[in-house]
Amino acid sequence: MFFTPITKMKPVENLVFDLGNVLIDFNPRHAVNKIVADHAEQEFLYTTIFRSAYWKQYDQGLITFDELNKTLTDNHPQYTHQINWTLHNWYKEQPYLPGMFNLVSKLNAAGYPLFLLSNANPSFYTFAPNLDILNLFTGITISSDLKLLKPDKEIYDRFCEIHHLHPDEILFIDDQQKNVDGAIAAGWRAYRFTDACALQYALEEQFHIKL
Distance CA 54, CA 184 (A): 28
**DSSP 8-class letter at 189:** E
Residues 6+ apart with CB under 8 A from 51: none
Which of helix, strand or coil describes residue 177?
Answer: helix
Of the pLDDT bands very low, low, confident and very high (cuts 50, 70, 90), residue 184 is: very high
Distance CA 32, CA 79 (A): 12
Peptide bond into 151 cis (omega under 30): yes
Terminal C-alpha separation, the chain: 42
Handedness of CA 142, 145, 148, 154 (dihedral sign): negative
Nearest to 30 by CA among 90, 95, 97: 90
Query: How many percent of the chain have pLDDT more than 90?
Result: 94
Question: How does pLDDT run across 93-137, given as a tens digit for each residue?
Answer: 999 999 999 999 999 999 999 999 999 999 999 999 999 999 999
Question: How does pLDDT run across 63-79, given as a tens digit for each residue?
Answer: 999 999 999 999 999 99
C-alpha distances in Å from residue 105, one per residue of 51, 134, 192? 33, 10, 20
